[in-house]
Amino acid sequence: MATQVAAISEIFSSLQGEGTHLGERHLFVRFERCNIHCEYCDELGKPGFDFDLDSTVESIRRLDRDEGPHAYVSLTGGEPLMYLPFLKPLMERLKALGFRMYLETNGILWKALEQVVRLSDVVAMDVKPASVTKERPFLKEHERFLAIALEKETFVKMVCSKSLDQREFQDLCVMIAHTAPHVPLVLQPITREVEGHEDFELMRLLGELQTIGLGILKDVRIVPRLHKILKIR
């Protein structure tokens, strides 16, 4: 049936390159579509292929057998929560097989999260500054999403470029502090010219942002993208 098929661009084994689980071996399932189009996104345009539940589960089991064990199955994208009718039964089947679920999400689709948060083990949630994404602000959606995500282990990631508006950054930090003061905030540098950590001016800015953030939150970290440093997928 149509609800049992999803457009998946790739299923692969690699190191987790972002966030608080940096360096763990994860099994990635990358969904094609996203509900927003961030200016910096490097996944746009990757074609998806129709997978049904059985073939997806079998691909995951085979890859885990051949290249595992893996700490988590990382459901990423795109935006996996766009595929809720497929995602929920997939997570149920994988949990029944003993896999742990790591949900990577843009932190906007809170109604969909309500349906699968109990099946997640880790929620890796983005907050999206409009000054960086060039999309509209999602402050209220992020607030509702974060409140639901707190049922499980959660961290918040913010992609930061030199265009980041400091007032917007402060507003997002205040929202996190009011909703989940103990949740880590990860600042991830990104720039068009070179990989983010290689941009001295950007890293200086992130140091300033970290200082501002630590005046509002308990845990603010600067974490470059490990997979880009290691030149792996």
Average pLDDT in the 4-9 region? Answer: 94
pLDDT in tens, 32-41: 999 998 988 8
Q: How much is the pTM? A: 0.95
pLDDT in tens, 64-96: 999 999 999 999 999 999 999 999 999 999 999
Cα angle: 21, vertex 82, 107; to 5 degrees: 45
Question: Considering just the CA atoms, what is the radius of gyration of the chain in Å?
Answer: 17
